[in-house]
Amino acid sequence: MAFTVRLLLFSSLFLLPVSVFAQTNGSIAVGDFLTATTANSSPWLSPSGDFAFGFSPLGSNDLFLLSIWYAKIPDRTIVWHANGDNEAAVAPKGSTVNLTANSGLVLRSPQGEELWKSGTSVGVIANGVMNDTGNFVLQDRNSESLWETFNNPTDTMLPGQTLERSGKLSSRQSETNYSKGRFQLLLQEDGNLVLSTINLPTNFANEPYYATDTTSGTVAGSEGKELVFNVSGYLYVLRENGGKYNLAVGEVVSARDNYIRATLNFDGIFAQYYLPKNFTGNVSWTILWSEPDNICQRITESSGVGVCGYNSICTLKGDKRPTCRCPTGFSLLDPNDHIGDANRISYKAVKKMSLVAQKIYMMLRC
């Protein structure tokens, strides 16, 4: 008898970690916390295990990014990250994120300095939920949402997510630097969905290089109300009158069989991607569609200096994403920065310079 009990105890102890992993309901209690370490850092998983919330290592500098990613894909693809106004909330090793009742998620450095918080203005948080849609939700005791990552997007939208008027996506600096970059997708107050370059740090938006033109035209109620990425994986501007402006026509993959996302890339391309859930071996994201068709031509003087910066030549790769090179005799200012630098000045400003200054600037640029 004693033997049986001990055996049972032993086996249930042995099984515990496995069953916790398999049966998580995605719920996170107030008081729960995560620590930024490379060793045994177990993130908060959604019930299906498709999405994880936690710390992602950034490069090899013992820095981490509080983020959400696809937990089953070997190559980490981040769909949301904690960010301040313009900077990503980068956390040194040993930082913690706590779920608190009154301040939501609070990220602190090992020294106790507050690096970021979700900040909820009203209500008391009962728990957090890492949802199977990829949405991390803070809710009150009645399961009303008080804060969610879907309402605070970074550069990516997921099926089930919508963007209201004045809602936007911001590109990152580069593939590996998550601070705010030079491109933005904005659903304007007039209902138009536009892509534009922005001037940092003022955030001034230049003339759009892509627009759906979903404004109040001749047909009543044709202005855009929200950008909808529905759970079937269709992305469209929903008009006030119920009409839809589809961003991609006739191209769709099954949302049941594929992971699907729409990302504003660091080079200004807004693209929808998919990856089969039943992948084997090496796997990478496939582009379903992207906008604009030719970003090298679309971004002209009026929409800010070209994608590549002054005096450098923009060409499209096979996947319509831009690459930059210098005319013969010049070399890139920063050889690692393949789409120019962030501190460029406008074409107009260059034109105002003296001829000598222009020449020097052009030599420096490339």
Ligand X SMILES: *[C@@H]1O[C@H](CO)[C@@H](O)[C@H](O)[C@H]1NC(C)=O
The values of phi and psi at residue 188, to 5°, are -70, 165
Nearer to ligand X among residue 170 and residue 208 (C-beta):
170
Tell me how far, at minimum, the Cβ of 277 lies from ligand X, in Å.
8
The end-to-end CA distance of the chain, in Å, is 81
Measured from the Cβ of residue 42, the count of other Cβ atoms closer than 10 Å reads 11
Output 81 or 365, the one with its CB closest to ligand X.
81
In the bound state with ligand X, the residue whose beta carbon lies nearer, of 208 and 273, is: 273
Q: Which CB sits closer to ligand X, 175 or 189?
A: 175
> How far apart are CB 301 and ligand X at their closest, in Å?
24
Choice between 284 and 302, CB closer to ligand X = 284
Shortest Å distance, C-beta 3 to ligand X: 30
Phi then psi for 244, rounded to 5 degrees? Answer: -125, 135
Q: How far is the CB of 150 from ligand X (least distance, A)?
A: 6
Distance CA 249, CA 247 (A): 7
Give me the least distance between CB of 296 and ligand X, in Å please. Answer: 23
CB atoms within 10 A of CB 3: 7
The two three-digit tokens of residue 294, written as one number? 């030719």
Is residue 351 helix, strand or coil?
Answer: helix
Distance CA 42, CA 36 (A): 10
Pick the closer one to ligand X by CB: 28 or 269: 28
In angstroms, rounded to a whole number, what is the distance separating the alpha carbons of residues 114 and 95?
Answer: 10
Where do contacts with ligand X occur on this chain (CB under 6 A)?
25, 27, 33, 90, 96, 98, 100, 106, 108, 131-133, 135, 137, 145, 173, 177, 179, 230-232, 234, 244, 257, 276, 278, 280-282, 342
> 348: buried, middle or exposed (CB in 10 Å: 19+, 13-18, 0-12)?
exposed
What is the smallest separation between the CB atom of 200 and ligand X, expressed in angstroms? Answer: 8
